[in-house]
Amino acid sequence: MTTITVSSGPIATVTLNRPDVRNALNDALFRELTTWARGVRGDGAIRAVVLQGAGPVFSAGADLQWMSRMAGYTREENLADAHEAATMFQALDALPVPVIGRIHGAALGGGAGLAAICDVVVAADDAIFGFTEVTLGILPAMISPYVVRKIGVSAARELCLNGARFSAARAREIGLVHEVVPAAELDAAVARQTALFRKAAPSAVAATKRLLNDVAGRRPGDVLALTVDAIATQRVSPEGQEGMRAFLERKTPGWVITPGEDGPSKA
């Protein structure tokens, strides 16, 4: 049985699909998500990915049945298994397309970690969040680099150490969430966010996502060469040239997908 379902098209949807256990993340799900993420190309076919959960919540984080069974495994098996999970988070983080998180119900532990990896997060106002691992006697290991990068050391120290559950409003305050709406308006808000990526040049979005990861937390002087190379490459690229020319000539660039279309416009 598959643990995720994926819809294709320029706005792809990946649905965590283990609703009976609140989309808890187990080894099968880690493998399926990694395989899917590695197959995504930054060629413009997919403009954005919506990451969502089936059933009452987004995700209850690591599958605690599966995690607790690891006591019966060797140290090597434990390491290999954890490596598989860490690889999934890394593969999602490296996606060359923007990921929009649609959070309803709850995003806890690894579920909150998935939210941290998303580029844009829209949450229902009654959703709850939490890095609850310490309340279960474990720790937010594989997600920690993404959490610290997203919410900073101060909020991470508070929320990963006390394991408290917190509101969507608080999640927005600390930068984990970008937009909070009533639950009934969640799909409309997600659609508004994804619509923005129908206008953005795919190669520019992919290069910008890579650039932001590369410069985050580094001194400007240390990334100067990298930033110079990035613009020198992109402005002479086909999309760079087409985009600037289209603006100057008051035309629509060919990559823009107008509502109702599922491919680039020919204008």
By the rule CB under 6 A, 44 interacts with ligand COA: no
| Cα–Cα distance for residue pair 81/102, rounded to 1 Å | 27
Helix (H) / strand (E) element for 122: namely: strand 120-124
What region, left, alpha or beta, does residue 7 occupy, with left being phi > 0 and alpha being psi -120 to 50 degrees?
A: beta
**Would you state the structure tokens that stand for residue 226, as one six-digit string?**
């990298």
The torsion angle over the Cα atoms of residues 6, 2, 185 and 143, rounded to 10 degrees, is -90
- Kindly report the number of other CB atoms within 10 A of residue 8's CB atom: 10
> Of the listed 32, 133, 239, 249, which one is catalytic?
133
Name the residue among 147, 128, 48 with its Cα closest to residue 89.
Answer: 147
Contacts of 152 (CB under 8 A, 6+ apart): 174, 175
Give whichever of 56 and 238 is closer to ligand COA, judged by the CB atom.
Answer: 56
Distance of CA 92 to the CA centre of its chain: 7
- Name the closest residue to ligand COA (Cβ): 109
| Cα–Cα distance for residue pair 197/180, rounded to 1 Å | 19
Q: Which of 63, 93, 119, 239 binds ligand COA (CB under 6 A)?
A: 63
Q: Which of 50, 106, 114, 124 binds ligand COA (CB under 6 A)?
A: 106
Q: What is residue 148's three-state secondary structure?
A: helix
Helix (H) / strand (E) element for 80: namely: helix 75-93
Q: Which of 109, 113, 243, 253 binds ligand COA (CB under 6 A)?
A: 109
By the rule CB under 6 A, 61 interacts with ligand COA: yes
Give whichever of 141 and 228 is closer to ligand COA, judged by the CB atom.
Answer: 141
Q: What distances in angstroms separate CA 60 from CA 23, 122, 191, 200, one per listed residue? A: 6, 17, 24, 33
Stretch that binds ligand COA, among 54-62, 75-83, 183-191, 195-203 (CB under 6 A): 54-62
Stretch that binds ligand COA, among 32-40, 101-109, 180-188, 221-229 (CB under 6 A): 101-109
Stretch that binds ligand COA, among 18-26, 170-178, 205-213, 239-247 (CB under 6 A): 18-26
By the rule CB under 6 A, 21 interacts with ligand COA: yes
Residue 158 known to be catalytic? no
Stretch that binds ligand COA, among 102-110, 153-161, 167-175, 207-215 (CB under 6 A): 102-110
| Shortest separation between residue 130's beta carbon and ligand COA, angstroms | 7
| Shortest separation between residue 81's beta carbon and ligand COA, angstroms | 14
Q: Please identify every residue annotated as catalytic.
A: 133
**Where along the sequence are the contacts to ligand COA (CB under 6 A)?**
21-22, 24, 56-57, 60-65, 106, 108-110, 132-133, 136
